[in-house]
Structure 1
Amino acid sequence: MNNLDSVLTRRTMLRSAVVMASGAAVSACVSRVDTALAPSIVPPVYAPPIPKAPVLARASRTPGGIRPELFKKAIAALDRHSMRVTSHDRIAIADFSMASAKPRFYLVHLGRGEVETFLVSHGIGSDPEHTGLLHRFSNEVNSEATCEGAFLTGDYYVGKHGDSQRLLGLDPTNNNALDRAIVIHSAWYANSDMIAKHGKLGRSQGCFAVGEYELAKVFERLGPGRMIYSAKA
């Protein structure tokens, strides 16, 4: 190879190197520009839905057998605690203005206005002389008295009284219910034959004690997440 050919060859190689270098530079610039201009991907932010108050079912009128003023107070309590009471189709109302010999525990289907009644005992501390009438409410621990206000039905368990259901007190007048173990359970002293023998039911330690043959039906009608309203006035 002569000197001229060597010079031409070197020039050709230099041109090729310049072109390749320019291409690489352009590619690098394009890559940087693309990266700079590419829209940043922002992950969607999860916004939890705003809880809505449940739609309340209502009986068109006071269900038969329940005092209208008591039913009105129970419905007001349901409205007041609507965000904590998850099921509004049924409620229970305990009318402790009545003697224990009367079926004073009402299970009400609000949509249809249907009512079932049951016997229910009150606490020893509410009726120390065992007259069959509730004389006072108490929220105090160890009072063995019935307490008033709205309760939320909870889970089922097996305790010293057998099958039972926990209750959460929703008002200042019964907010010790869970600590006091105020629950729904059955008891022999709440059976209907007690009335024939003694003219009244026996007393609980503040719990809503119903007849041994009625507990399954009460559990079925109530279930967790419903309200019980206990009052006298």
Structure 2
Amino acid sequence: MDEHDDALRSRRALLKNGLVLGATLAVPGAVSAATRRLTQQDLRAVATPPLPAAAPRVAAQPITSPRVVRPELLRRAMAALDRHGRQLANRDRIAIADMAAPSSQPRFHIVDLVGGRSQSFLVAHGSGSDPSHTGFLKRFSNDPGSNASSEGAFLTADYYVGKHGRSQRLIGLDATNNNALARAIVVHSAWYANPDMIRSHGMLGRSQGCFAVGEDDLSRVFAALGPGRMIYSDKI
């Protein structure tokens, strides 16, 4: 009986040790965790995690959307603003006449350089610039009696009341438009620059070279433009 009991106890001990060993193998590190405390070495990262990628640098964009003023035209207007800056009392707003667009489109853009907003209006070109009345400006001229629109930078001057009602004088700042004051090239309103002309004729009428805007738009144009600012007119 004693030998049988000893053998039974030995088998039970072997079975117990096997279960303990199996549990230990199933949970790696269980023995070490139970036998010693964690150190700073244990808590150190195995590898340094990669740093987040730096945000890409974005170049400053023009304050106006290319959908309003075409980028190349805007660049030319801003270059003219820098070139004639000393002659301008105010550089917070400019007007840009995109004479590559037809007269049926709002192509007289008044751009707020501070707030980054713009307003667009219909504007007529001169009959001498479009003799066949196609709705597209064909050529510029600075010649007296040409009845054509001129290209370049204009300085907005004083207001007056003339044959076209309320008007604003313009001073040509470039060799391509320096006869503007003598030619009486001004900003004024006209019935032939109203939107209903597009509905009935598909285009605006023509001026004698002036920037003629719609009768209902004149007050807003004068309020936004004012004296001492620049109008830039070009076709590119």
Provide the TM-score with structure 2 as the length reference: 0.73
Q: How far did residue 155 of structure 1 move?
A: 0.2
Q: Which residue of 2 aligns with 1:137?
A: 140
The 5 A counterparts of 1:25-174 are 60-64=61-65, 65-174=68-177
Query: In 1, distance between residues paired with 2:156 and 2:225?
Result: 8
Q: Which residue of 2 aligns with 1:10?
A: none
Deviation sequence 1:31-89 (CA, Å, 0-9, x none)? xxxxxxxxxxxxxxxxxxxxxxxxxxxx9415121100000000000000000011010
Is the 1:120–1:210 Cα contact (8 Å) retained in structure 2? yes
Which residue type is aligned with residue 114 of structure 1?
Answer: R
Is the 1:60–1:113 Cα contact (8 Å) retained in structure 2? no
Is residue 219 of structure 1 aligned with residue 222 of structure 2?
A: yes
Larger radius of gyration: 2
Is the 2:189–2:213 Cα contact (8 Å) retained in structure 1? yes
Query: In 2, distance between residues paired with 1:62 and 1:188?
Result: 33
Unaligned runs of 5+ in 1: 1-58
Unaligned runs of 5+ in 2: 1-59
SS at match of 2:64: coil
Is the 1:62–1:71 Cα contact (8 Å) retained in structure 2? no
Moved over 2 A (4+): none
Is the 1:89–1:110 Cα contact (8 Å) retained in structure 2? yes
RMSD: 0.9
Provide the TM-score with structure 1 as the length reference: 0.74
Deviation sequence 1:104-133 (CA, Å, 0-9, x none)? 000000012101000000000000000000
Is the 2:112–2:118 Cα contact (8 Å) retained in structure 1? yes
Q: Tell me: CA distance 1:115–1:75, structure 2 relative to 1, closer, same or farther (3 Å).
A: same
SS at match of 2:128: helix
Query: In 2, distance between residues paired with 1:88 and 1:187?
Result: 28
Query: In 2, distance between residues paired with 1:196 and 1:216?
Result: 23
Deviation sequence 1:126-156 (CA, Å, 0-9, x none)? 0000000000000000000000000000000
